[in-house]
Structure 1
Amino acid sequence: MPGPSSFSRRPAPSTAGRLRSAIEGGRHSWATSLALHLLPGVPIVLAYLLLTGPLVRAIGYPPFLAWVLAMCLGLVPVQLGTLFWLGARPGGRRSLRGVVAYADRPIRRWPLVGVVTGLVLWTFVAGSVAQPVDRVLQERVFAWLPWASEVSGTTGAFTGHAESKVVTTLAVSLILSGVLGPVTEELYFRGFLLPRLPAGRWAPAVNTALFSLYHFWTPWQFFSRVLLFLPAVWCTWRGRDLRVSLWVHVIGNTTGQLLGLIAVTAGLASG
């Protein structure tokens, strides 16, 4: 009779495999959820302090460009890389199916257009109302941050710089902060983290609050971000359709970048 050693045994999963299963699975624990929401903000700040900040200062471009590049270098590889790492399949294939939820497009086209349009209008109205509060918090509470006057993309941040450099900065920001960053964040925060939050019906509010906290570089915008994003996050969660928050985020960001670019090229905000 054959002994136990004669039977083939399934190899024990590696540490990476166990970690992948724990993260990709169903509900996250609170500790896992908090870590996955907040830790991705750290590489962005480090990228600015160690790489893009010194580089942009050396070439004489507006400091805002340093943050745009830092968000790209610290955001996309970490968040999108995590999703594709979790989506590893046998044979070396990568797939986001099973990792990113709310991708089945249950909301029909025209209702989706109406919801997105209304939410985009809300972001502009809410943003206008919240902007004075952001400014007060930035100047009176968070002025101690060394980059407090550099991270904003308002026209005042470009004073003293050549118009060509400002235009280049805003054009790069239009692509990176307007499209690439928001798409990555929505796939990660709304498609991956939101449905795994152990918060029940409070998941949209918790996800929005943690998403706002993850922006360590602009803590003065915490309340305004919650105000702007919560309706879109709730609609995404309620309708189980990732396109809602994705389109709202992309349209809101690109519109803001375009308005700044138009203002500069029209000579209204040149330094």
Structure 2
Amino acid sequence: MSKEKEIRSVWKLIILHLFPGIVFSIIYVFLLKVGIFENYPKLFIFSLAGIFSIIPLELGYLFYVAKKEVGSFNIFKILGLESKLKVKEYIFYTLSLFIVTGILMTALKPLSNNLLNTVFSWIPSSYNYVQDMSQFDRNIIILSILVRFFIFTLILPIIEELYFRGYLLARMKWMGKYSVFFNVILFSVYHFWSPWLIITRIISMLPLYYFVYKKDSLKLAILVHCLCNFTDVVAFIALLVKI
């Protein structure tokens, strides 16, 4: 990534990181208020919020920049972190980083729950998208598995990594060693819909994205992000088997 294409305005970086999350949260709350899919898991409403915010805003902005900089809508021409690893390296690093991230997330779960019940207790429980899925019938759980897999394991994580790491982090190299820290903090705050997880996300994701940055590999970031989200699909399948 050439230096002239770096984003050196801190305020612009903050806006680009946070704005999609703000829109996502507004749409999510709005859809909850109007009662769309009120008899279905909140996961369905959550997915709609992502479809109407993350896809048009993050992917749309990448198309806009690509058209502006290279004259076409080929977003891969404007992305950084282009280093290619060997297949064995991808497998080893992906599994290792997945395990490390999972251990940190699990270890910090009590902290997240404590923050939810104290600092963020003012947030109505009806806004929390995490639900006990056992209350729904088999067909709804099957639909939830499909939504979890295609929307939250493939589409949205890939777009987020293209936008946050492939585009934003790659253009923050002027910050040196602080670029990853700044990117991770803003990416964690971007999840406005679950503020009690901000600290957990920062601590859990720092090792992951610092390693991704050092290896200069966007594909590695995508693989780990998708694999982490796939654990929810596995949990839903396990629930389905019990029914």
Task: Tell me which of 224, 228, 235 is aligned to 2:204.
Answer: 228
Q: 1:55 maps to which residue? A: 36
Provide the secondary structure at the position in 2 that maps to 1:39. helix
- Give the equivalent residue in structure 1 for 2:19: 39
Select the structure with the greater relative contact order (CA < 8 A; seq sep ≥ 6).
2
- 1:30 pairs with one of 10, 25, 32: 10
Deviates more, 1:163-172 or 1:73-82: 163-172
Tell me if structure 1 keeps the 8 A contact 2:101–2:205: yes
Alignment of 1:53-202 (within 5 A): 54-57=35-38, 60-88=39-67, 93-105=72-84, 107-146=85-124, 150-152=128-130, 156-158=131-133, 160-197=135-172, 198-202=174-178
C-alpha spacing 1:142/1:91, structure 2 compared with 1 (3 Å): closer
Note if contact 1:163-1:264 (Cα within 8 Å) is conserved in structure 2. Answer: no
The residue type equivalent to 2:183 in the other structure is N
For 1:37 and 1:188, the matched residues in 2 are separated by 9
| Shift in Å, 1:91 | 10
Change (3 A) 1:92 1:207: closer
Conserved in 1, the CA contact under 8 Å of 2:157 and 2:225? yes
Partner residue of 1:217? 193
Equivalent position to 2:214, from 238, 243, 260? 238
Cα contact 1:64–1:169 (8 A) shared by 2: yes
3-state DSSP of counterpart to 2:128: coil
Q: Report how far residue 52 of structure 1 moved.
A: 6.0
Q: Structure 1 residue 63: deviation in Å? A: 1.7
CA 1:132–1:149: 2 relative to 1, 3 Å: farther
What letter is aligned with 1:151? Answer: Y
Which 5+ residue runs of structure 1 have no aligned equivalent?
Answer: 1-23
The TM-score with structure 2 as length reference comes to: 0.89
State how far apart, in whole Å, the 2-side matches of 1:84 and 1:27 are.
17
How many residues are matched?
Answer: 238
- Structure 2 unaligned spans of 5+: none
> What is the percent sequence identity of the aligned residues?
25
* Letter aligned with residue 41 of structure 1: G
Give the superposition deviation at 1:93: 3.1
* Counterpart residue type for residue 257 of structure 1: D
Greater Cα offset, 37-46 or 68-77 = 68-77
Q: Is 1:249 the counterpart of 2:225 in the alignment?
A: yes
In proportion to residue count, which structure has more helix? 2
Structure 1 pair 90/140, CA: closer, same or farther in 2 (3 Å)? closer
Cα distance in 2 between the residues matched to 1:183 and 1:195: 16
3-state DSSP class of the match of 1:55? coil
- 1:36: how far off? 0.6
How far apart, in 1, do the equivalents of 2:171 and 2:159 lie? 17
Alpha-carbon shift at residue 146 of structure 1 (Å): 2.8
Provide the rounded CA distance (Å) in 2 between the counterparts of 1:133 and 1:90.
Answer: 44
In the alignment, which residue of structure 2 is the partner of 1:16? none
Q: What is the TM-score with the length of structure 1 in the denominator?
A: 0.80
Q: Secondary structure at the match of 1:56?
A: coil
